[in-house]
Amino acid sequence: MFFDSNYLLFVFLPALLLSLAAQAFVRGAYSKWGKTPNGAGLTGLQVAQQILSRTDVKGVQLEGVPGELTDHYDPRTQTVRLSQGNASTPSVAAMAVVAHELGHAQQHQQGSILISMRNFLVPAVQFSPQLGYLLIFAGLILRISGLIYVGIVLFGVMVVFMILTLPVEFDASRRGMILLRESAVMTSETDQQGAQQVLTAAGFTYVAAAIGAVLQLLYYLSLANRRR
C-alpha cells in the first residue's frame, strides 16, 4: 500500500502540491497585507473591541494566545483568542483574521445549522481517523475485506467533517466582512480588497485539505474493491 504507484500519482502528489500551493498563497497574502496598515489604524484587538461594541455579536471574551496565526474561537467559553502579532498590529491582515473569528462567534450565537452539523461530528472525529487507519491496515494484512470497509466508513466520518468545514469557514469569512462594514472599521477599498484576499487564501487551505482527504478515501475504496 505504501509504495503503490497509484497512491503516489493520484493521492500523495496531488495532495502535496495542493498543500504547498495553499501554504504559499497564505504566506504571500499574509506577508503583503500583514505589512499594510488598515485605514482605521486599529490593532486586531481594537478591531475586535469595535465589532463587539457596534454589532450584534455580544458577550465574547478576548484573550491572547502565543504563536503566529494561532487565532481561534472557542465555543465552549465564547472566547476569541488572538495571536500576539494580530492582536497588536494595525494591519489589514490582522483586521481580517479577527473579523473571521468573530464570524465564528456569531455563527455560534445564532445557532448556525452549518456549525451545529460540524460540531455534532467532533466527538467521532477525535478517534475515527486513527481507528479507521488501523482497521484498513489490518484488513489488508489479514486479507479481510470487511475490516477494510469498516475502516473506510470510520475514515469517511473525518472526510465528511472536513467537507462540512468548508461552508462553515466560508460563512465565517462572509460574516466577518459584514461585521467589518457594520462596525465601520473597514474604511477604504484597500481594506476590503486586502481583507478579502487574506480570507480567500485562508479558505483555500481548507479546500486543499478536503480534496486530499477525499482522494485518500477514494484510494482506500479502490484497495477494498481490488480485494473482493
Q: What is the mean pLDDT of residues 54-74?
A: 96
Q: Is 51 exposed, middle or buried (0-12, 13-18, 19+ CB in 10 A)?
A: buried
Q: What is the mean pLDDT of residues 4-14?
A: 92
Q: What is the mean pLDDT of residues 11-19?
A: 96
Instruction: Give the pLDDT of residue 3.
Output: 64
- Domain-wise residue ranges, the chain: 5-226
Report pLDDT digits (tens) over 155-177: 999 999 999 999 999 999 999 99
Q: Categorize the per-residue pLDDT at 228 as very low, low, confident or very high, splitting at 50, 70 and 90.
A: low
Instruction: Give the pLDDT of residue 1.
Output: 47
Instruction: Give the pLDDT of residue 40.
Output: 97
Which residues are catalytically annotated? 101
Q: Categorize the per-residue pLDDT at 15 as very low, low, confident or very high, splitting at 50, 70 and 90.
A: very high
Instruction: Give the pLDDT of residue 4.
Output: 82
Instruction: Record the pTM.
Output: 0.92
Q: Which residue do the cell numbers 486599529 mark?
A: 42
Distance CA 218, CA 51 (A): 43
Instruction: Give the pLDDT of residue 124.
Output: 86
